[in-house]
Amino acid sequence: MTVRNPEVIEQFYDQGKSVILLSSHFNNWEFLITAQSLLFRFQAVGIGSPLSNKYWDKKITQRRERFGMKVVHADNYKQELKKLSGKPTATLVLGDQSPGKAENCYWTKFLNQETAFYFGAEYIANEFDMPIISGIIHRVGRGKYELELKLITANPRMEQYGFITQSYISNLELAIIQEPQFWLWSHKRWKKEVPENLNEVKLAHRERFYKRFRH
């Protein structure tokens, strides 16, 4: 795996800033998880949910961490990020993973369907004031991949609600339309029912964001 335009992210390491790398289940995402510490100077961090089977959770975590990645769980990522103060971190988030409760999701049109998205990356970016970068993996040959980076924003606290998440979604949608065979269609993207009071859910979610981060 190589990086097409590493300067997009490396500029922030030179500034001493930690960042969020927002990617997807598109092409070989496990390769990115494993290789991230080898691709960038940042301390690599990955946020995920623990598996119900503790044995396999431990085994998969060990495999993902073998080149320097630090895997943290969604329930304690704040504490873990605060501990990693030795050098700038690049926190990898797969933003198209299955989201939680409907009222905590970001809802938008995606591939012509009303879709719920995980809002965690936008939340973390505002909580820690981290630049956020979208990463799309391209397959360039057998066993060969290239990561294309795109800066979403260097100043998340200056952006309007949903700007980060919607920008990420637009980048992912374009990649899927161009190469649909490389997205993980089997992860049941639309298994969550659309709430009957969707407009109210959207408004309440937006208001909670502004109350927390823009008061």
CA atoms of 101 and 61, how far apart (whole Å) = 26
CA atoms of 57 and 55, how far apart (whole Å) = 5
- pLDDT in the model for residue 109: 96
- pLDDT in the model for residue 161: 97
- pLDDT in the model for residue 49: 74
Report pLDDT digits (tens) over 55-97. 887 888 888 888 888 988 777 777 777 777 778 999 999 999 8
CA atoms of 207 and 211, how far apart (whole Å) = 6
Report pLDDT digits (tens) over 1-46. 999 999 999 999 999 999 999 999 999 999 999 999 999 999 999 9
3-state secondary structure of 49: coil
Report pLDDT digits (tens) over 162-192. 999 999 999 999 999 999 999 999 887 888 8
Cβ contact 17:155 at 8 Å: no
